[in-house]
Amino acid sequence: MKKSSIQDKSKNAGQEVQILFIPGRTLFITLLLYLLLGCLSFFFDAVTFTWILIGAGLVPVILIDLLILYLLGDRFRIEREIPSSLAQNESVQVRLLFRRIGGFLPYSIRLYDLFPSSMNTTVFPVKLEREKIKKTDLFIFEYNIKPIERGLWFFAGTEIILGSLIRFWRMRITHDVISKGRTYPNFKQMTRGIDLKGNPEKGEVKQIRRRGQGMEFESLRDYQEGDSIRSIDWRATSRNRMLDGSPKLIVRNYQEEQDQQILFIIDSGYRLPDKQFDSALEAMLLLSYVALKHGDAAGAASFGMHDLWIPPRKGMSAYKGLMNGLYDLQSAPVPSSPFMAMEKALNNLHRRSFIILISNFREEDGESLSWILPRINQRHLLLMVSFLETSLYELVGNSGKNDTIKSAFKGSEPKIKTDDEILETAAAYSYLANRRRLYRKWEHSGLLVLETSPQHISSALINKYLSVKKSGKL
């Protein structure tokens, strides 16, 4: 995702400033010592005169220190420069421009930038060097920040903490420096470490050639070793001769069919927790990019927390629309109905499409989807995508099935399981067995089923798409 040009510079003339005076630590320590001295004067009359004298001189000093800090006051106009479009988990540089509008500066200057909670940085608070600021009318402070969450972001302002000469007072000045923008999924990070047939980031997805049914004719070319005899065009061969008069074999070149529709439907309800949902969303965007590069139309929908519909469109401009429509999508622990999502897809799709439904399907979904899935399968090609229940597989894998045999060789006592552990393991076996039975039933009825982990969903989805293109099922 390319970052947009620098924007969101605040205007000096319209910049609002809020000022708040805060007692400093030195003032508290001084008053505490003065209080102790007052306690001593209660017991010793000789100290009383000293205590009164110090109090009479301390009050003017405190007030004068406050007055000087107030007169020095706000000496800056601040601007912030940050790209309005950011990539998730990709550090970006932020520039704060301080324009000095006065001669004298306070004793100390500390800076806080009020960045959003969806970003992370360890820079603040930072103490600015007065000597560097004095040498120029425009001081630039740069720092790096990392967006950790997708969605809209908003900088509330910038705070400067000024310290007085004797450090009795601090003045907090809040500048209304507003910046806002969007954080998109990181496309570079999505493609990192993915086993694909090509490089989708550079548009180098490997073109898969196939001779036969369901593929579009592309061109004629000379026969090469390894080409199938069935691909030879005998009519074109009869019209071409080599120098010695022998026939020159010509074969037909085929390519995948173009102008097909891909629709992604993602569950934004309780079935997909945050990490699984983020992995599924990134896989959707990455496969959308690949499909658009292949000349297909790509669209997206969601059900559960968000009821979203983005109709399939062709061209790389459609990818921008998908990014803007999906970048801030989040899951939540709310009910979700795959049945309603399928019914909506049937009503809105008017031509055969490759539907990819991403959720976590369970045994009860077999009955609830039993009558609508055949209708979907008649008009479209449906891929049901689920995540592996790794915790259950680990429980089943470590169930202690062969503990007695293993311990006999190690000379140790077999591990004795409690009744609760046995019941938990049995429930996990039953759940996984019922789930596999449901998936086999769907596969026998002609549906496509993919069960994968969040770490490998991107490569699994893309390679599944490429194999479907190769098979000509669309």
Give how far Cα 289 sits from Cα of 121, 199, 369, 445, Å: 31, 11, 30, 30
Instruction: State the Cα–Cα distance between residues 274 and 270, nearest whole angstrom.
Output: 9
Fill in the DSSP letter of residue 43.
Answer: H
Long-range contacts of 323-327 (CB under 8 A, 24+ apart): 323/1, 323/184, 323/185, 323/285, 325/300, 326/281, 326/284, 326/285, 326/300, 327/150, 327/151, 327/182, 327/183, 327/184, 327/185
CB count in 10 Å sphere of residue 76: 24
pLDDT tens across 240-264, in order?
766 556 677 777 765 555 578 999 9
Query: What pLDDT sits at residue 288?
Result: 93
Query: What pLDDT sits at residue 264?
Result: 96
Which residues touch 14 (CB under 8 Å, ≥6 apart)?
Answer: none
Fill in the DSSP letter of residue 119.
Answer: E
Tell me if residue 228 falls in helix, strand or coil.
Answer: coil
What structural domains and CATH numbers belong to the chain?
Answer: 6-184 (2.60.40.10), 209-255 (no CATH), 261-471 (3.40.50.410)
Nearest CA among 87, 81, 93 for reference residue 151: 87
Query: What pLDDT sits at residue 265?
Result: 95
Fill in the DSSP letter of residue 231.
Answer: G
Query: What pLDDT sits at residue 7?
Result: 35
- Helix or strand (DSSP H, E) at 442: helix 419-444
> In the chain, which stretches have pLDDT less than 50?
1-13, 198-214, 399-412
When computed from its CA atoms, the radius of gyration of the chain, rounded to whole angstroms, is 35
Query: What pLDDT sits at residue 244?
Result: 58
Query: What pLDDT sits at residue 206?
Result: 46
The answer to whether 334 touches 272, Cβ cutoff 8 Å, is no
pLDDT tens across 13-45, in order?
456 788 889 898 899 999 999 899 888 888 887
The answer to whether 38 touches 47, Cβ cutoff 8 Å, is no
